[in-house]
Amino acid sequence: MIYVTQGHEKGIGLEIFLKSFLMLSREEKSQVVLVADKSALDQNLKDLKLSKSSFKDLNVVSPKADATLPLSTTTLVHALNIITPDDILITLPTSKDQLILNGKNMAGYTEFFRSFYNNPNIAMTFRGISQNVLLITDHVALKDVPNIITKDLIVEKTNTTIEFYKKYFSTFDEVIFSGINPHVGENGILGKEDFIIKDAIDLLKKNHILKFSGPYSGDTLHMHNDPSKDQLFVYMFHDQGLAPFKAMHGLIGLNISMGLPFLRLSVDHGTAFDLYGKNKANPSGMIFLFKQAFEVTKYVINQ
């Protein structure tokens, strides 16, 4: 099954879901379960001028509301309590103040999963039409990046991503790494932090038959893109990787969590609160996501 959690009730998540769901085949619709608050869903149907009869094939689960928790959290936790390793989780966009675990605000879905499953090496990756990106660090302050990155962290997240992509998507031909500093530190002139990346690459080469290269300067890493190969681009911090990815792919990209007991997917954009209720949200990213989710289902079955 494919479980979809509603995200922020005042964002465009439910809108892009509803628009995309209508484009699915009857067989595909039967595999989708929406975990959402009934009143939030009804409000979106009203705003979009969509009749409930158009969604008679939609399986909806509405968890009991908890006045102490945001709906993004209650619907997510409900899905996590019923999902199995054979299922896929799709999370719709929310804001960071809407994800609370054990009384603490989480910095995003990935951080929520890391705490929920007690696994700090769950990796944030992005998949577009022609590029795959792994972020070694994600929602952390730039000043903290050099202190967080270690050889072990690079190796663990790279290994996790290689194995999970092999299970759900395909086998990589090549893994390409960025440095941390401009010009990869100029052999220590601009910083010595990049030496640990070289050490991590050397260790990975001993355990895989894939081609590993780098580290290269982050501002030119995208220029190593080769459409004839299935490549993974490994960036050391959030904006270093996502600026070129989003410039290249726009809304047509997936945010994928690697290292969970199941596959988790999301669109690569946010809540767009300014578009809520206006019937103007572009569902192309969600359409791409559904297409990829059903392709994953077929890929896993055929392995």
- CATH superfamily placement of domain 119-259: Isopropylmalate Dehydrogenase (3.40.718.10)
Alpha helices in the chain (DSSP H): 13-21, 26-29, 38-47, 71-82, 109-116, 145-148, 151-168, 195-207, 238-249, 284-302
Q: pLDDT under 70 in the chain at which residues?
A: 301-303
Q: Rounded to the nearest 5°, which phi and psi values hold at 254? A: -110, 140
Q: What is the pLDDT of residue 274?
A: 97
Q: What is the pLDDT of residue 269?
A: 94
Q: What is the pLDDT of residue 190?
A: 80
Asked if the domains at 1-117+262-303 and 119-259 fall in one CATH topology, the answer is no
CATH number of 1-117+262-303: 3.40.50
C-alpha pair distances (Å), 38 with each of 9, 47, 64, 117, 252: 11, 14, 10, 28, 29
pLDDT in tens, 64-82: 988 899 999 999 999 999 9
Q: What is the pLDDT of residue 65?
A: 84
Read off the amino acid at residue 154: I
pTM of the model as a whole: 0.95
Q: What is the pLDDT of residue 18?
A: 97
Q: Where are the domains of the chain?
A: 1-117+262-303, 119-259
Q: What is the pLDDT of residue 303?
A: 65
Q: What is the pLDDT of residue 67?
A: 86
